């Protein structure tokens, strides 16, 4: 059981969870240096009047798969340390949010969770939560498929961000005829705050005759 009280005023001191987190993701994918932590408090929407800087996290960790995320969450649960996940950084408000946790917060950066697997026969996409939408679209097009993604900002938003956001997944450019992105969601792998991994949905659809069972459709040449 980890117990600690840590404040940003403790200049030069390492975060108490630096060692355990380094064992999980590797020393090159966790950082508690001041300049790294502060770099996560400024988003692109600030220049457009999107609010002030967010709360400076206590430590930043970048997992590569759901197993590492689960281990991070178990550690955070044991030490009662708040965790704030970060996707593409397209928040229109201050991020990380000021009302969450304390100065020892763990910021979970999903940058490395970017694997994209496409099954052309089943017309499905399986992607990690940190995959950028435009990258998923590009991979789908290589195989002659169309991926239903939000319209803006497609080069910033992540799969995880839109699946947890506006209208349960944002609005594709063809929303009037296709519906929102969540209509094409077949299943999720979710890591709960306790570190328990839950898998939902039925996996690969038995047929792609109906758009309700597909996450992609064949692209029409223009």
Which residues are CB-contacts of 198 (< 8 A; sequence separation ≥ 6)? 189, 190, 191, 192
Q: How far apart are CA 121 and CA 164, in angstroms?
A: 28
In this predicted structure, which of 83-92, 94-103, 164-173, 181-190 has the lowest mean pLDDT?
164-173
Q: Is 219's pLDDT higher than 60?
A: no
In this predicted structure, which of 77-86, 91-100, 171-180, 190-199 has the lowest mean pLDDT?
171-180
Q: How far apart are CA 117 and CA 120, in angstroms?
A: 10
- Within 10 Å of residue 10's Cβ, how many Cβ atoms? 12
CA distances, 208 to each of 79, 119, 171, 215 (Å): 46, 12, 22, 9
For 207, how many CA atoms within 13 A lie in the half-sphere containing its CB? 2
Summarised one tens digit per residue, pLDDT across range 64-110 is 999 999 999 999 999 999 999 998 877 766 677 777 778 899 999 99
Q: What is the pLDDT of residue 170?
A: 54
Q: What is the mean pLDDT of residues 147-155?
A: 73
Q: Is 63's pLDDT higher than 80?
A: yes
At 122, list the tokens: 């089943």
State pTM to two decimals.
0.79
Residue 56 Cα to chain centre, angstroms: 19
Q: Identify which of 140, 143, 166, 142 has the alpha carbon closest to the alpha carbon of residue 153.
A: 166
Tell me the pLDDT band of 167, cut-offs 50, 70 and 90. very low
């Amino acid at each position: 059981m980890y117990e600690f009280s840590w404040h940003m005023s403790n200049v030069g001191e390492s975060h108490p969870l630096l060692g355990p987190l380094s064992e999980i993701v590797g020393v090159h994918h966790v950082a508690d240096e001041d300049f790294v932590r502060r770099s996560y408090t400024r988003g692109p929407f600030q220049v457009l009047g999107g609010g002030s800087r967010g709360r400076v996290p206590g430590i930043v960790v970048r997992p590569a798969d759901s197993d590492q995320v689960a281990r991070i969450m178990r550690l955070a649960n044991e030490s009662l340390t708040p965790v704030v996940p970060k996707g593409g950084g397209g928040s229109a408000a201050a991020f990380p949010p000021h009302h969450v946790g304390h100065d020892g917060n763990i910021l979970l950066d999903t940058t490395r969770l970017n694997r994209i697997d496409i099954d052309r026969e089943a017309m499905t996409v399986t992607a990690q939560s940190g995959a950028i939408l435009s990258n998923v679209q590009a991979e789908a097009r290589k195989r002659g498929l169309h991926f239903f993604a939000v319209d803006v900002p497609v080069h910033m938003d992540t799969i995880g961000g839109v699946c947890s956001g506006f209208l349960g997944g944002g609005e594709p450019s063809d929303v009037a005829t296709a519906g929102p992105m969540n209509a094409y969601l077949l299943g999720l792998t979710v890591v709960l705050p306790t570190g328990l991994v839950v898998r939902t949905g039925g996996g690969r659809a038995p047929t792609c005759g109906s758009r309700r069972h597909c996450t992609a459709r064949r692209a029409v040449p223009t």
